[in-house]
Amino acid sequence: MSATLYRNGAVHASSDPFAEAILVADGTVAWIGSDDTAAGLVDRADEVVDLDGALVAPAFVDAHVHVLETGLALESVDLSPAGGVHSLADALDAVRRAAQARPDTMRDEPLLGFGWDDTGWPEHRAPSAAELDAAAGGAPVYLARVDVHSAAVSSSLAARAGLDRLPGWTPDGLVTLDAHHAARDVARDVSGPRRTALYLAALRHAAARGVVAVHEMSAPSVDTREGLLELLTSTADERSGLPLVVGYRAEACTTVDDARALLAALPGLTGIGGDLNVDGSLGSRTAALRAPYADRPGERGVLMLSAEQVANHVAAVTRAGVHTAFHVIGDLGMDEVLLGIRAAADVEGLPAIAAAGHRLEHAEMVDAPALAAMVLLGLRVSAQPAFDAAWGGPDGMYAARLGAGRAIALNPLADLAAAGVPLAFGSDSPVTPVDPWAGIRAAVEHTAAEQRISARAAFRATTRGGWRLAGLDGTGAGELRVGSPVHLAVWRSEHLTVQAGRGQLTAWSAEARAGQPLLPDLSADVPPPVCLRTVRGETVLHDALG
């Protein structure tokens, strides 16, 4: 038996909002209460942690990640503003420096970069193949756009992958659709040992940010079946020292036999879907829209699945006893996926579809009829609030692509929550960083004031919501109460606060607190919380307590 007593801090527990200490034993919460009472429990603990005012809270679940791509992005050229890239010229400079720093033995290996966003650059265009050829000295280059639905590639990489014969190829080296998938295959062609190292780096990166589980959205264009199986088997036991990987595989099924075969090939698979794309992304102009893009009137995006294909898949997966998830961004994409799910409900029966817990990933364009259909069909949503922080507002990418009128309605978090749609939040890493507190802040400070939700609701969507959408909420995970699993994180924060009104963080006081558990102050002028420890059951995944 092993027991740890955390005391002299604050504990985020709905059962005791004023708790200052918590005792955990054998992977279970054994007691929560005041620091005075904790003094009498010291002898029962193998380890006593003086929190010195730190916060103990449920650990996070990132409900939409790509583990291999996250690992690759962590060691690749950072083309985001955070990496100091604010223009096309900056991006080419970064590629040039990276190419010059590589040893000659790596000359034939693809040089990878992630995170560029031309909508924020003064040149307002992607790097061309000729520019990448010059910057990298002829080496193969793959630069993923921030949404990872398109990329800029060099001539040598295009030739290696035969991109000029595929849909989505353009002579200037900007690739989408099948051409992009083929380019990704070249970029992700790594050895088994390196693949494992990339997995470990990504998962340890998540653990250091208070994440105890991730929903891996695997797909043929993203990673292999074998890679997903490795992630599932290597993280199933907490003694791995890694966050749990909840696995989804985006392979379309026509019959229940297809679904059962996939489940047999990938033991431990949670869902058949995830990045099963109904459409693409707004940034790459591949999200399927009812009306054309404002900045390119001749384009309306691409539907990648028909309603008939959606219906067949949903029926097959439902009969196999698991749930599915669809990537859907545009309003036309939403129309198509809902039409397909309704058709499946006509065959399988509405109760069976509603009980399955099927998911929509992203669901950025949801109008009133779509919301009503989602509620009727029992759908759940895995959303990314950081998308709004990155691209919302009157001057953001959404407004550039759609016009301000359509853009203001995107990512309707408050509407979804008010309708009772179960929500979980994630990062879609490497699209946005694994940073749950930033996601919570983005939900609280949504650029459309009417779509802001409370910090408490956002926190629950980033903790308990992730377990719920994976069908694991019956375990008690996602909250701290006596008898619940110990999935917790310890945070150092300059200020602890309580939510006193929608979209507004206020300083702590007994009156303002009103019986609600504390959260860190996420105001822009306050340093973000620092993770001191992440615990999964009896295993410490990350420790900076010293």
Domain boundary among 120, 154, 187: 187
Identify whether residues 404 and 462 lie together within a single domain: yes
Q: What is the pLDDT of residue 345?
A: 98
AA identity, residue 438? A
Handedness of CA 291, 397, 203, 139 (dihedral sign): positive
Distance CA 194, CA 458 (A): 36
The domain spanning residue 120 has which CATH number? 3.10.310.70
Measured CA to CA, the distance from residue 413 to residue 397 in angstroms comes to 19
Q: How far is CA 544 from CA 55, 211, 370, 531, in A?
A: 14, 14, 45, 8
Kindly tell me if the per-residue pLDDT of 33 is higher than 50. Answer: yes
The answer to whether residues 334 and 305 touch, using CB atoms and an 8 Å cutoff, is no
Residue 501 in domain: no
Give me 335's structure tokens.
């129309």
Q: Over the stretch 111-127, which tens digit does the pLDDT of each residue have? A: 999 999 999 999 999 99
pLDDT at residue 521, rounded to an integer: 87
Q: Is the pLDDT of residue 334 over 80?
A: yes
Statement to judge: residues 123 and 227 lie in one domain: no
- Do 355 and 457 fall into the same domain? yes
- Same domain, residue pair 132 and 14: no
Domain containing residue 232: CATH number: 3.20.20.140
258 and 401 both lie in a single domain: yes
Question: Which residues on neighbouring strands pair with residue 355, listed in sequence order?
Answer: none
**Residue 506 falls within a domain, yes or no?**
no
State pLDDT tens for residues 474-521.
888 999 999 999 999 999 997 776 543 333 333 333 433 456 788 898
Are 463 and 436 part of one and the same domain? yes
Does residue 262 belong to any structural domain of this protein? yes
Q: Is residue 382 a contact partner of residue 427, using CB atoms and an 8 Å limit? A: no
Contact 70, 85 (CB under 8 A): no
pLDDT tens column, 443-481: 999 999 999 999 999 999 999 999 999 999 888 899 999
Q: Pick from 187, 222, 238: which residue ends a domain?
A: 187
Domain that holds residue 296: 192-475
What does the pLDDT read at residue 495?
Answer: 77
In this structure, what token pair is assigned to residue 172? 């200037």
| Tens digits of residue pLDDT in 358-415 | 999 999 999 999 999 999 999 999 999 999 999 999 999 999 999 999 999 999 999 9
Q: Residue 522 domain-assigned?
A: no
Which of 187, 212, 242 is a domain's end point?
Answer: 187
Could you give the number of structural domains in the chain?
3
* Residue type at position 411: N
CA 96, 98, 101, 106 torsion: positive or negative? negative
Instruction: Give the pLDDT score at 437.
Output: 97
Distance (Å) of CA 268 to CA 63, 231, 248, 264, 282: 17, 10, 10, 9, 33
Task: Note whether residue 514 is domain-resident.
Answer: no
pLDDT of residue 496: 77
Confidence grade of residue 173 (pLDDT, cut at 50, 70, 90): very high
Q: What pLDDT is attached to residue 494? A: 79
Looking at the fold, whether 355 and 466 belong to one and the same domain comes out as: yes
Same domain as 342, residue 206: yes
Spatial distance between the Cα atoms of 420 and 377, rounded to a whole number of angstroms: 12
* Residue 467 confidence (pLDDT): 98
Report d(CA 520, CA 145) in Å as an integer: 32
Q: What is the pLDDT of residue 482?
A: 96
- Position 330 confidence tier, pLDDT thresholds 50, 70, 90: very high
pLDDT higher than threshold 50 for residue 347: yes
Q: Residue 361, Cα to own-chain centre: how many angstroms?
A: 9
Tell whether 201 is covered by a domain.
yes
The answer to whether 381 touches 423, Cβ cutoff 8 Å, is yes
Residue 518 in any domain: the answer is no
Same domain, 138 and 259: no
- Same structural domain for residues 234 and 164? no
Both 121 and 243 in one domain: the answer is no
Residue 63: predicted pLDDT: 98
Mean pLDDT of the chain: 94
Say what the pLDDT of residue 1 is: 67
In a domain, 67, yes or no: no
Paired tokens of 345: 């409900």
Q: The domain spanning residue 489 has which CATH number?
A: 2.30.40.10
What is the C-alpha to C-alpha distance for residues 365 and 302, in angstroms, rounded to an integer? 15
User: In angstroms, rounded to a whole number, what is the distance separating the alpha carbons of residues 355 and 358?
Assistant: 8
Residues 235 and 352 in one domain: yes
